[in-house]
Amino acid sequence: MRRLRTGRRGMAAVALTLTLGMSLAACSGSADDGSSPSPSASDAESAASAADNAAADKIKVEWSDDAAPTVTLPSTPFSVTTLVVDVLEPGTGAEIKDGQSISINYVGVSGADGSVAHDSYSTGPEPGSMNATSALGDLIGEKVGVRFLLAIPPQSEGQDTTVVAGEIVDAQDVPTRASGEAVAPVPGLPTVTLDADGKPSMTPATGTPPTTLVVQPLIKGAGPEVTAGQTVTVHYSGWLWDGTAFDSSWDRGEPFPVQNVGQAAVIAGWNEGLVGQTVGSQVLLVIPPDKGYGDQDKGTIPPNSTLVFVVDILAAS
């Protein structure tokens, strides 16, 4: 039996953390400044949500044992204005919990014409992170094997609604930080300090940065070695050589999955530096420009920058 749900209000945005060839972020209609919406705005949002629920309920999904489900839209172009999460079939496995690492199979369909934009059933399940504020957050408390439908509104002018039908095929607990045997610091490298939760801060080293990739474990985990082709779940923070911070999964509140490590869609320093490390480890990567972004200008990362990352390897599968 289909159980229709509307994505949570009160969020500036929700995002489905998957390896997609499209954006799956969906904006709610709530104010970003913390103020309560006016009664008329709230009524309008409720009416839009009801209309979107009704529209999504008309989408037909036919499941196959050995291929992607077939998604048939009631008409094209199909569109919604709010995120809709529709539980199509309950799972029978273990309960899915907030913060877990999940594996998911799904097919994404364009609302413009019903064409398939992405199909993981043909390539294998893809990784994601279950988070209460994500588009899949409403599936927390469901069980592994749950089949669902998402109707995701356009994210910017010119984009179309996306419809996703899929199933969560696995869910695993993930540690929140590295754990293992501390490794003595190496002179000449940046110094790393951890707060009570394990989030790193970095004191830059003096002198000229290295010209070759440095892979220095700070904590040696007791888990298995990471092998090429695995999906590695990590927490990380990144700085320029001078100590200027530019990115951190800790600040976003959820780990980052590196799919097909060794040939992942990340910089070479990560692909080379993570393979061979053990799960549970914390690794300092000092990445010269030729293993990073080279002469590209990445906004907060100037051309020809040496990058410093502290990476906690939480899981690998």
Per cent of the chain over pLDDT 70 is: 86
Q: What is the C-alpha to C-alpha distance for residues 256 and 19, in angstroms, rounded to an integer?
A: 11
pLDDT band at residue 36 using 50, 70 and 90 as cut-offs: very low
Q: Residue 291: count other Cβ atoms within 10 Å of its Cβ.
A: 20
Among 119, 170, 246, 301, which one carries the catalytic annotation?
246
Among 59, 152, 309, 313, which one carries the catalytic annotation?
309
| Per-residue pLDDT at 27 | 29
| Per-residue pLDDT at 186 | 92
Q: Is 293 a catalytic residue?
A: yes
The two tokens of residue 314 are: 């939480």
Strand partners, 240: 307
One DSSP character per residue, 133-161 reads TSTTGGGTTSBTT-EEEEEE--SSTT---
Q: Is 247 a catalytic residue?
A: yes
- pLDDT, tens digit (0-9, with 9 covering 90-100), for 259-279: 899 999 999 999 999 999 999
Among 168, 293, 312, 313, which one carries the catalytic annotation?
293
pLDDT of 123 over the 60 cut? yes
Among 151, 155, 166, 161, which residue's Cα sits nearest to residue 53?
151
> What pTM does this model have?
0.66
> Who wins on pLDDT, 64 or 241?
241
Mean pLDDT value across residues 291-302: 95
| Per-residue pLDDT at 99 | 83
Among 78, 106, 148, 236, which one carries the catalytic annotation?
236
Query: Sign (positive/negative) of CA torsion 184, 187, 190, 195?
Result: positive
Per cent of the chain over pLDDT 90 is: 70
Among 57, 119, 170, 247, which one carries the catalytic annotation?
247
DSSP 95: B
| Per-residue pLDDT at 199 | 97
> Who wins on pLDDT, 99 or 121?
121
Mean pLDDT value across residues 1-13: 44
> Who wins on pLDDT, 200 or 206?
200
Q: What is the C-alpha to C-alpha distance for residues 211 and 70, in angstroms, rounded to an integer?
A: 51
In this structure, are residues 171 and 98 in contact, taking their beta carbons and an 8 Å threshold?
no
Q: Is 256 a catalytic residue?
A: no
CATH number, domain 3-172, options 3.40.640.10, 3.10.50.40, 3.40.50.460, 3.30.390.30: 3.10.50.40
DSSP 93: S
pLDDT band at residue 35 using 50, 70 and 90 as cut-offs: very low
Among 170, 267, 290, 301, which one carries the catalytic annotation?
267
Domain 181-316 listed as CATH 3.10.50.40? yes
> Who wins on pLDDT, 158 or 20?
158
Q: Is 236 a catalytic residue?
A: yes
Q: Is 140 a catalytic residue?
A: no
One DSSP character per residue, 192-223 reads EEE-TTS-EEEEPPPSPPPSS-EEEEEEE-SS
Q: Is 267 a catalytic residue?
A: yes
In this structure, are residues 241 and 202 in contact, taking their beta carbons and an 8 Å threshold?
no
| Per-residue pLDDT at 22 | 32
CATH 3.10.50.40 segments of the chain: 3-172, 181-316
In this structure, are residues 31 and 38 in contact, taking their beta carbons and an 8 Å threshold?
no
pLDDT of 156 over the 50 cut? yes
pLDDT band at residue 25 using 50, 70 and 90 as cut-offs: very low
The two tokens of residue 181 are: 């045997």
pLDDT of 316 over the 80 cut? yes
* Inter-CA distances, 169 with 31, 118, 146, 149, Å: 35, 17, 8, 15
Mean pLDDT value across residues 206-228: 96
* Inter-CA distances, 235 with 56, 210, 309, Å: 36, 24, 10
